[in-house]
Structure 1
């Protein structure tokens, strides 16, 4: 493994771990705030117990997210010094603001964790809301910085020099809205299904059923709404990619030939050498319709992209297909849940129905990882789209492969520690008076 591959692998590993921690850190405070609000309104101790249990989970993921995020910030300078030298003054603002949002989030979380008997109860609830809002803002700011790499703005690149820098324009580049929207909804869907699946499993095992039924209801609603909205945000993102990154779109769809009435490819194995996709299902004209709203419109294929500027087709295509397939699976489960909620309420407490959510526990995070693979691998060979190549940004320092091994060990150790802490936390769920399942009613 050479230094370039080692640097990319280390960054991929770090992002792959951090994105899970950050998604949960963005979303869990909202679950916690809803449960807290319901306790304040109803006085039901189930909601209070759920709030306290989730607040401990929020603290765990806040700490691990802070560690993994700090490591990432150091890695940017360690692995990609040429990139940071030129890009830092341009897109540094969202990172600085993200630090401010993180600071506010840390203070609000401290207030919430230690304010149960010290604050007015509604102010205490409000501090939990601030934790969630700060986390969402923090995530959006980081995604805005990443979107700048996909759609660079706020500067002029003349004779190898970056001039006329405008940090505001860089932060609010053409891709920030679509990418932030898609990522935020994905975080709610992934975390919602993961947490709902865990509580569904506890209900099946008949452990603290009242507690886990309340938790399942809250998280399932968030997951269902997010999964239904996700295809809409995906359509917005696809249109942006088609306009600004045609090479990425062509790799996502394994679209080798520029043509009108471009077919949508479902599945298949890309044959890059022969410029075709084997064993795929083709829907004539659907790709043209999806990206340009016209069946007869032209979609740029890889034949119009110089070979040196083409991303890895197979990895990008498989990751995209996996993301879409998992998104459709979550959408199907969501529609089933709505049918149960409004028509067949008896399903909600039946084992077969709960098992579906148990099986869906990892789907959202697998989709998130696949989506970020599409975002990052699909941009290659550019670290700044159309401006700087990834190979030109990597550090000349030798021995990066050893750094990769070290960070791999650190992240896997961190994952084991988090798994242990969460497992212990789930087993420490407080016993409550009512162990009977609650009736899930439409509200």
Structure 2
């Protein structure tokens, strides 16, 4: 394997793995805090059991995310030294702030896990909420660093030198808000659907139905925020991309020729050599409207840009289509849930209804990975858009393929361990937190 490809593959694999735990860390603590709040308001022991069950899952995934995030930090320096040499002083601020947020999250999580019956109940609840706030802050700050790579600012690039550095301007670049908003909404959608699906499965298996029904409804509420917020945040992000990275937008839509009233392409197989997209469904003028709010506006095509600056069109286009498809499916599922909740209560206990959420467990994360692929691959061949090419940033050290194999083995091992731990935790839930168990109160106090 070529060292450059190996370095990119290792980074892609590491990011693809870590992003799942980052998103869980951004959202799962809020589910936990909401359940805890319900317990404090109602005194219902089921909510207390649910809070403890979710907190154990948060702890497992937090530990894993810490490992994968630390590995990523080292990989940036080991695989892309030329990038870090110049970019580190510019966008180091969000990374340093992210480290602070991470430590706050770790301390708050420790307080929450071991603070039952030791702290004031509302301070204890606030510790759980703080886990979510600091986790969300961590995610936003990391995205701010990534968005700088898509919209570099906060410095002057003169004769190959990075001068007049302003780290605040670099952190608050033009892309950070659209990317951070869309990422946050996607995290709520993906995590909400995944958690709801797990509890729907356990309801179908008739394991502690009341417990899992309450958990399912809380998770779905968070999932709906993401499902219906994603199109709005996606529209903001798409308009930002159209303004800052028109070549990425063209690749997303496999849009080869500049035209006014450009159509929105659904599906299709792009051919970079001929500039054609076969078997696509085209919606007239919609791309122009989505990019500019004007149905007749001009949208630049790929042929307006140098060929050596094109990203891999097929990869970006397919990833964009996958993201849209699963996003629309989750919106549809959310719509069905609202119909059931307000008008068709009997649907809420039907197996077909619950199985829909079980099937949807991976949908949010598939869309999330596809969206991240659009963001990262769509920026190629640049590691710093318009300034530094990815090929110029890679380490000259040979043998990177062995590092790729090693890190892949580590991440696969971590995945298997996580699956084992979460499966065991899910299996323990009805035993530890079943309020129909006469020993439940004793167990609850001990835990």
Short-chain TM bin: over 0.9
CA distance in 1, matches of 2:368, 2:378: 15
Cα contact 1:91–1:167 (8 A) shared by 2 = yes
User: Do structure 1's residue 432 and structure 2's residue 423 form an aligned pair?
Assistant: no
CA distance in 2, matches of 1:385, 1:193: 34
| Deviations, residues 245-299 of structure 1 (Å, cap 9, x unaligned) | 0111000000000011111100000011110100000111111111111111100
Q: TM-score, normalised by structure 2?
A: 0.97
Cα contact 1:3–1:398 (8 A) shared by 2 = yes
SS at match of 1:266: strand
Partner of 1:132: 132
Give the aligned length.
435
CA distance in 2, matches of 1:29, 1:433: 23
Alignment of 1:62-211 (within 5 A): 62-211=62-211
SS at match of 1:270: strand
| Deviations, residues 203-261 of structure 1 (Å, cap 9, x unaligned) | 00000111111110100010012100110000000000001001110000000000111
Unaligned runs of 5+ in 2: 438-447
Partner of 1:441: none
Cα contact 1:210–1:434 (8 A) shared by 2 = no
CA distance in 1, matches of 2:434, 2:55: 18
Alignment of 1:12-27 (within 5 A): 12-27=12-27
Partner of 1:334: 334
Partner of 1:358: 358
Shift of 1:433: 3.1
CA distance in 2, matches of 1:432, 1:422: 18
Partner of 1:406: 406
Q: TM-score, normalised by structure 1?
A: 0.97
CA distance in 1, matches of 2:417, 2:91: 34
Shift of 1:45: 1.1
| Deviations, residues 371-415 of structure 1 (Å, cap 9, x unaligned) | 000000000000000000000000000010000000000000000
SS at match of 1:296: coil
CA distance in 1, matches of 2:50, 2:116: 14
What CA RMSD, in Å, does the superposition of the two structures yield over aligned residues? 0.8
SS at match of 2:280: strand
CA distance in 1, matches of 2:226, 2:320: 19
Partner of 2:367: 367
Shift of 1:349: 1.3
CA distance in 1, matches of 2:53, 2:433: 12
Unaligned runs of 5+ in 1: 436-443
SS at match of 1:173: coil
SS at match of 2:274: coil
SS at match of 1:428: helix
Partner of 2:244: 244
Partner of 1:300: 300
Cα contact 2:185–2:225 (8 A) shared by 1 = no
Cα contact 2:46–2:435 (8 A) shared by 1 = no
Cα contact 1:261–1:297 (8 A) shared by 2 = yes
User: Do structure 1's residue 393 and structure 2's residue 386 form an aligned pair?
Assistant: no
Cα contact 1:26–1:136 (8 A) shared by 2 = yes
CA distance in 1, matches of 2:407, 2:43: 46
Shift of 1:434: 4.6
Partner of 1:325: 325
Cα contact 2:260–2:296 (8 A) shared by 1 = yes
CA distance in 2, matches of 1:26, 1:235: 22
| Deviations, residues 33-55 of structure 1 (Å, cap 9, x unaligned) | 00000011111111011100000
Partner of 2:33: 33
CA distance in 2, matches of 1:35, 1:127: 14
Cα contact 1:285–1:296 (8 A) shared by 2 = yes
CA distance in 1, matches of 2:2, 2:225: 45
Cα contact 1:263–1:286 (8 A) shared by 2 = yes
User: Do structure 1's residue 312 and structure 2's residue 312 form an aligned pair?
Assistant: yes
Shift of 1:431: 4.6
| Deviations, residues 415-439 of structure 1 (Å, cap 9, x unaligned) | 000000000000001252359xxxx
Alignment of 1:245-264 (within 5 A): 245-264=245-264
Q: Aligned pair in 2 of structure 1 residues 341, 434: CA closer, same or farther (>3 Å)?
A: farther
SS at match of 1:84: helix
Partner of 1:345: 345
Partner of 2:420: 420
Partner of 1:440: none
SS at match of 2:282: strand
CA distance in 2, matches of 1:282, 1:49: 51
SS at match of 1:153: coil
